[in-house]
Chains A and B, each alone.
Chain A
Amino acid sequence: MSERPADWTRGTEVIRYQVCRNCGAKQYFRRNFCAACGATDRLAENQASGEGTVYAASLVARAATPETRAHVPYNIVLVDTVEGFRMMAHGDKDLAIGDRVMARFVPFAGRVVPYFEKIK
């Protein structure tokens, strides 16, 4: 079992993904094995550049907790990264599908979350 490196889900301003050295599959949800081929101990822990393309977006106007309600409206996006995996994040309210974007990090509901801005 490899040690889990810090990333934004654990409070560090980094987006990470895994690449399987056995089959080449990429995965964003971290595991100790490759979900495509089952290989163990063959996963490289990589840091993403933060660059990608907007795949989908939904502007949330109705939140359900006091912590998230303080932020409405916030735009939830799915981004296809240049590294080849898809991730959920926040983004500018005017993002459109197909926009090329770059990640930074913003505070949200007591945590730090990835936030995508359009590449000018």
Chain B
Amino acid sequence: MSYINGVGLTSYGKHQGSSSLDLMSKAAELAIADAGLKRAEIDGILCGYSTVSPHIMLATVFAEHFGIRPSYAHAVQVGGATGLAMTMLAHHLVDAGVARHVLVVGGENRLTGQSRDASIVALAQVGHPDYEVPLGPTIPAYYGLVASRYMHEYGVTQQDLAEFAVLMRAHALTHPGAQFHDPITVADVMASKPVALPLKLLDCCPVSDGGAAFVVSREATSERRVRVRGCAQAHTHQHVTAAPALSELGAEIAIAKAKAAAGLAISDVRYAAVYDSFTITLAMLLEDLGLAGRGEAAARVRSGYFGRGGEMPLNTHGGLLSYGHCGVGGAMAHLVETHLQMTGRAGNRQVKDASIALLHGDGGVLSSHVSMFLERVR
């Protein structure tokens, strides 16, 4: 058994002058306060990585900086799936009695700490060093390849993909911490600069500064009880050249195992938090997870299904596409927003019912997957 007892999130965008450790500290402080705990009560730390300030022992660097002496600490690296992978590990650690209160933290000054080119070059290294990277691909190109194939097999169009960018922007407009506050239309997405076709600028998440953190504990520390009901991972490949067929990707494997672990079905889910590094990522994952039929996710966006007032509210903070993407913290914002929704604290973004939530993270090029069900316990 484990509970998400507290969450912390900075605004995403520019935090000029803040280091990765500063952003991690800010989020950690918020999460610990939210859990009603003191720093000294944190006995486990899991953190992600920083491409701006790489370190072989980031968890202890952070622990010293923040002022904690944990009995368990290390970093975790699974690309975009890192936040949920850490949450899954924290869940198992507290369940096994290894630690009582595990702080899960990620943060990076990825926007102001390095040039955009440096970010793009650093991230492209998830490609194969001999057989892919020399060809000059970028992360958008890896996903552009996947997008071209997905569109070919399932009849998805660029206009369909644009719908996801428009939805995430509409959601971000209602969150003061989001990086973007200008509404966009499908026409704007279509007219935005080509990056790696079929993906255009507005199909891609931005580079951001920001931090996010949670406290995962064996016992609930307040009446706001949000429990990890079940979770699972799947890792089918690293490089897009070695990816399996579209019908055999890891999201379907992870969600099947998570459903079994949680004893839940997709029909039980009331709120969805799904990784959205690119519009194609979100479209594919929604369909792989069973939140929409194959090739039908865009139609569900158009019908309002994934809107705040829809049947399956999705990424109500704006997701990576419009709240922002600061690396490990990026997708952790999805969990923070989910927690706020589940505990009735989402303010003007509050949905009617978020009693059971499904979260899904993806790292690499649909390489690593984590599916997780959270449940509000009354």
Contact = CB atoms under 8 A, between A and B. Distances in A.
B138 A97 contact: no
A70 to B, nearest CB: 10
B135 A62 contact: no
Interface of B: 116-117, 120-121, 124, 128, 130-132, 134-138, 140-141, 144-149, 152, 193-199, 239-242
Interface residues of A, number: 34
Interface string A51-87: 0000111111111110110010110111000000011
B146 to A, nearest CB: 7
B138 A9 contact: no
27 contacts: A9-B130, A9-B131, A28-B131, A29-B131, A29-B239, A29-B242, A55-B149, A56-B148, A58-B140, A58-B147, A59-B144, A59-B197, A60-B140, A60-B144, A60-B196, A63-B136, A64-B120, A65-B121, A68-B136, A74-B136, A78-B145, A78-B241, A86-B241, A97-B149, A108-B134, A108-B135, A113-B134
Contacts of A98: 152
Interface in A100-115: 108-109, 111, 113
Nearest to A97: B152
Given A71-B136, A88-B240, A97-B152, A58 B131 contact: no
**Max chain B C-beta neighbours (<10 A), residue from A57, A73, A97, A108:** A57
A96 to B, nearest CB: 9
Given A56-B146, A58-B148, A64-B120, A88 B140 contact: no
A93 B149 CA distance: 16
A61 B149 contact: no
Contacts of A58: 140-141, 144-145, 147-148, 196-199
A89 interface: yes
Contacts of B132: 88
Contacts of B140: 58, 60, 62
A11 to B, nearest CB: 10
Contacts of B147: 58
Interface of B is mostly: helix
Given A29-B131, A113-B135, 17 more contacts: A58-B148, A59-B144, A60-B140, A60-B196, A62-B120, A62-B138, A62-B194, A63-B136, A63-B138, A64-B120, A67-B136, A76-B137, A77-B145, A78-B240, A97-B148, A109-B136, A113-B134
A59 B128 contact: no
A87 B199 CA distance: 21
Contact of B135 (A55, A56, A64, A89): A89
Contacts of A88: 128, 131-132, 135, 137, 240-241
A61 B146 contact: no
B131 A87 contact: yes
A29 B138 contact: no
Contacts of A76: 135-137, 141, 144-145, 196
A28 B194 contact: no
**Max chain B C-beta neighbours (<10 A), residue from A9, A71, A86, A88:** A88
Nearest to B201: A62
**Max chain B C-beta neighbours (<10 A), residue from A30, A62, A74, A87:** A62
A116 B240 CA distance: 18
A55 B240 CA distance: 12
B131 to A, nearest CB: 6
Contacts of B130: 9, 29-30
Nearest to A113: B135
A49 B132 CA distance: 20
A88 B240 CA distance: 9
Contacts of B141: 58, 60, 76
Q: Which 10 A-B pairs have the closest CB atoms?
A: A58-B144, A64-B120, A68-B136, A61-B194, A56-B145, A56-B149, A59-B197, A9-B130, A64-B117, A62-B195
